């Protein structure tokens, strides 16, 4: 097995190149040759911050083919297409033993790249070695691009599943980036009623329209649109997908009394909120981070059945050597891209 290469965060807006180990995978592990790795907002924040991300998280949205299988691994074979995921609940940690398998400590550590078996780098690389727990086979009906977008589709599948909104709920999605557009599609599948999507980018508003959403507005027009739709009452469910700290309280104020505020966007700074407002209006606030193993299975089935369109979010593919430039562009706030994929094996291409 020849050596590969990877890129990792070396400091604020700095990347370093490294060589992937050429050793065969150990017991219970597999080697995956990377086909595509998606760039997530978390990757951008980790790059600009320089130290916030565990090494394995920088490049966590990946798909590829198994190229080597370690001893003791069942159900995986060389050449099989897989996505990076998390394993089933372990059944041994404190959460599992207490009956809270959906909040398994082992799975949580895997999702955040801090488990003992986490690889020393992420998948902005030609290859990664991970435990067999961390890969899920890709259904035959998914393209390589669709497989590369399974991870964000799973994040949003998990959030909508946690909210478990009543059928027909009036719904607002704040932000039409990848997370917002995937959340909106999952919510629609789950029986959401009238839905508004709020997004400042004209290109992303256009994409939301192409995905079949009729009420897509600029943030400045949102209050009037929501008042008209709900007769001034507010949304049953608001999915906050932007992660902008200053929007947390204003987002809560768009929820009707007794409604639900779902938090998907991850702010990097503290937010000021009115606890009295939330309490007086009896809001239900649901935080959502990452996923469980079964969410990957559900999200992939939704893609394969064409109940959600992930490929429409893909707006560009670049080689590994362009990663720094693409990260800078995505951080600028001026990029027209929705979802960018890195192909570590090909020359740069638009």
pLDDT at residue 312 in the model: 97
pTM exceeding 0.85: yes
* Residue 348's pLDDT band (cuts 50, 70, 90): low
pLDDT at 336 over 60: yes
Q: Mean of the per-residue pLDDT values for the chain?
A: 95
Write out pLDDT tens, residues 44-92. Answer: 999 999 998 999 999 999 999 999 999 999 999 999 999 999 999 999 9
Instruction: List the domains of the chain with CATH numbers.
Output: 4-149+310-343 (3.90.180.10), 156-287 (3.40.50.720)
Name residues whose C-beta falls within 8 Å of residue 318's C-beta, 6 or more positions apart in sequence.
Answer: 326, 340, 341, 342, 343, 348, 349, 350
pLDDT at 350 over 60: no
pLDDT at residue 1 in the model: 62
Tokens of 82: 């897989």
Average pLDDT, integer, range 263-289: 93
Write out pLDDT tens, residues 97-106. Answer: 999 999 999 9
Write out pLDDT tens, residues 4-53. Answer: 899 999 999 999 999 998 899 999 999 999 999 999 999 999 999 999 89
pLDDT at 340 over 60: yes
């Amino acid at each position: 097995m020849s050596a590969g290469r990877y890129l990792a965060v070396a400091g604020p807006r700095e990347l370093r190149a490294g060589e992937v180990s050429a050793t065969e995978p150990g017991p219970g592990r597999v080697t995956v040759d990377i086909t595509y790795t998606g760039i997530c907002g978390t990757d951008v924040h980790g790059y600009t911050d320089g130290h916030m991300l565990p090494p394995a998280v920088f490049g966590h949205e990946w798909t590829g083919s198994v190229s080597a299988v370690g001893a003791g691994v069942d159900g995986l074979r060389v050449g099989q297409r897989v996505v990076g995921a998390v394993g089933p609940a372990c059944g041994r940690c404190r959460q599992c033993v207490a009956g809270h398998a959906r909040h398994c400590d082992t799975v949580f550590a895997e999702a955040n790249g801090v488990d003992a078996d986490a690889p020393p780098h992420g998948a902005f690389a030609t290859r990664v070695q991970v435990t067999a727990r961390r890969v899920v086979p890709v259904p035959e009906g998914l393209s390589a691009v669709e497989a590369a977008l399974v991870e964000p589709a799973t994040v949003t599948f998990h959030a909508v599943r946690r909210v478990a909104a009543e059928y027909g709920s009036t719904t607002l999605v704040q932000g039409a980036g990848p997370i917002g557009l995937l959340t909106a599609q999952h919510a629609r599948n789950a029986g959401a009623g009238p839905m508004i999507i709020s997004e400042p980018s004209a290109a992303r508003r256009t994409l939301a329209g192409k995905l079949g959403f009729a009420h897509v507005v600029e943030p400045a027009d949102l209050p009037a649109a929501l008042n008209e739709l709900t007769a001034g009452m507010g949304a049953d469910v608001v999915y906050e997908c932007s992660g902008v700290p200053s929007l947390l309280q204003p987002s809560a104020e768009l929820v009707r009394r007794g409604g639900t505020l779902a938090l998907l966007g991850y702010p990097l700074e503290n937010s000021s909120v009115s606890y009295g407002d939330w309490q007086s209006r009896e809001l239900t606030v649901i935080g959502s981070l990452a996923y469980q193993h079964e969410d990957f299975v559900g999200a992939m089935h939704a893609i394969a059945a064409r109940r959600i369109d992930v490929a429409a979010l893909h707006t560009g593919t670049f080689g590994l050597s362009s990663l720094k430039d693409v990260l800078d562009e995505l951080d600028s706030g001026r990029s027209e891209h929705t979802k960018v994929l890195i192909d570590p094996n090909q020359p740069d291409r638009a």
